[in-house]
Amino acid sequence: MIIKTFPMGLIGTNAYLLIDEESKEAVVIDLGGDFEVIKDEIEKYNAKLKYILNTHGHFDHIFGERDAQKIVSVPVYIHEKDKYLVENLPKQLEKFGFVANAEPPKDIKTFTDKDSFKIGQNEIKIIHTPGHTPGSVCFVIGKTLFSGDTLFYTSVGRTDFEGGSFEKLRDSIVNKLFNLDDDIEVYPGHDTKTTIGYEKKYNCYFGSKNL
């Protein structure tokens, strides 16, 4: 599995490109900015984009998805509890003080944590991790977890936005993510990657060394 990281967009969100080397199927997670650079990488590997997945519906994670759909016909997937955020992208931008012409993506499909996705023969599992938003999720594929804005390197996502809850975030991290194997690599929505084991010890909110 090829994993490429692309910091992009209005506030440096990590977009991730996954390519299955055998099937040449590709998935993008959290397309928060210009699709062209990812499109070039997809073409470099002679791959085909299957769908765009979102860890949650905040503007900085979905900003580039409508423009991508104008280039390639591809559905966008979001947890059912965050669909309203995607549909209200222009209002989100206005609320956060950004002046930008942006259309929400079309062909928005929803999922729950009972669903999963395939890229080649690899299964992408869904963990519902509310707290940052009601529909925040993490995607797990093998020993890799894409955590969106739920879990960061030594930190966690904000809960002071609409629909946020620190208690729900605590439950998502402590009772769901921290029950995963320590050696799972965590690719967050911002900044550098980490591991579950490291965060269980050193996370400044929930790590055992800081309690």
Domains recognised in the chain with CATH numbers: 2-210 (3.60.15.10)
Please say if the pLDDT value at position 211 is more than 70.
no
* Contacts made by residues 178-183, CB under 8 angstroms, sequence distance 24+: 178/206, 180/140, 180/145, 181/143, 183/143
- pLDDT, residue 138, reads 98
Q: What is the pLDDT of residue 100?
A: 67
State residue 99's pLDDT score: 66
Residue 93 is predicted with a pLDDT of: 86
- Token pair of 98 as six digits: 């950004």
pLDDT band at 152 (very low <50, low <70, confident <90, very high): very high
**What confidence score (pLDDT) does residue 197 get?**
98
pLDDT, average across residues 47-72:
95
